[in-house]
Copies of this chain bind each other. A is one copy, B any other.
Amino acid sequence: MSYTFAISPFMKHLFADEMVVGLFSVGQDLAALLAFEVDLARAQEKCGVIPSGMSRKIETAIDKVKVVENEFEAGLARDGVVVPIMVSTLKAAMNPEDARYVHFNTTSQDAIDTSLMLRALPAMGGIYKNVQALEERLTELAKKFGSCKLMGRTRMQQALPITVGHRLDSWKYNIETAALSIQRLSYPVQLSGPVGTYRDEKVQKALAKALGLSVPTHSWQNERGPVLALGNACAGLTGALGKIGADIALMAQNELAEIKIAGGGTSSAMAHKKNPVKAENLVSLARLNASLLSALHNAAIHEQERSGAAWTLEWLVLPQMICAAAGAVHMAHALLQSVESIGT
């Protein structure tokens, strides 16, 4: 029982999608924050809000600045957010008259929320692609085994005979619903200033375009719809995969033997065992996300213009949820790849 499933040297192979976990590393967070600052300056230049040439100067400062990790840590510990120390470090590397155009008209939350979306976008994109691969694998399985016989079961009891195809269809429907929620997600830029009143349509549009994000209809500093939608989609996906995992663990029971899986976990004590590890873990991840989702919805209560307590709670929860979703798709894919036969 080591600390975190997604970055533990051990657990990561069990649970994690390395690409997605990587997106939520400190390195990529910082990179996204700096991209925000540069592209913001660029957009502001373009719209004549700040003098031309500033974005280039900021880029130069970034190259010069050696991220002094200890300093950044101390800043974060003091400020609760890494942006103030990052901005002041950048400013210190520029001449004073230019320095004022760093982080211009904006605030920590704009940078942090945008950085989240900059990484959620490829993360959910990668997940979506893997979900599609999963659907393809289901189609393959349906071609091979769809007409095989299976006992239909309701309330854990034999009900009426069905085909394997019917069971596979129900898995596909679960996945498709989850995929639809992912497709509907939006990844808005945040650019609303210290108390959410800053709104420069042109700059916002230019910034969103540069970053590949969407333009929100309003500040979401204290309206966390986009964050909740991400969480709902992740929990929806892990739930769908948890259903498949639970089914497979039941089908793999020796007396039912409705599915044959290559590999399977070995036991330290019983050489004859083949444990449906991945199927079980899909259930674990589904229940993890179901509980984390309640924390995320508790975090919807962003008091006043911007909340520290609710916002930080999101940080503790959402990256985990996305990583759990990514890991679950990976694991489900590996599991379905290893299916040798279903039904009779």
Question: Which positions in A face B, CB cutoff 8 Å?
Answer: 1-14, 21, 24-26, 29, 69, 72-74, 76-84, 87, 103, 106-108, 111-112, 115-116, 119, 152-160, 162, 166-167, 169-170, 173-174, 177, 193-197, 218-220, 222-225, 228, 232, 235-236, 239-240, 242-243, 245-247, 249-250, 252-256, 263, 265-270, 273-278, 280-281, 283-295, 297-310, 312-320, 323-324
Contacts and interface: CB of A to CB of B under 8 A. Distances in A.
A166 B80 contact: no
Nearest to A257: B255
Nearest to A22: B3
A316 B284 contact: yes
B158 A254 contact: yes
Given A269-B106, A269-B194, A24 B3 contact: yes
Contacts of A305: 152-154, 159, 162, 167, 170
A302 B174 CA distance: 10
Nearest to A217: B173
Nearest to A172: B218
A1 B314 contact: yes
Given A170-B196, A177-B225, A253-B256, 15 more contacts: A2-B24, A3-B323, A13-B74, A14-B77, A83-B268, A106-B268, A153-B305, A157-B253, A194-B270, A228-B232, A239-B301, A255-B255, A276-B308, A287-B313, A288-B316
A115 B2 CA distance: 10
A195 B270 CA distance: 10
Given A29-B2, A197-B162, A275-B79, A295 B300 contact: no
Contacts of A106: 268-269
A152 B195 contact: yes
B319 A84 contact: no
Contact of A307 (B155, B219, B291, B313): B155
A197 B87 CA distance: 48
A314 to B, nearest CB: 7
Contacts of A289: 297
A278 B308 CA distance: 9
Given A255-B255, A305-B152, A306-B155, A219 B170 contact: yes
Given A243-B222, A287-B299, A306 B269 contact: no
Nearest to A108: B268
Contacts of A78: 263, 265-266, 277
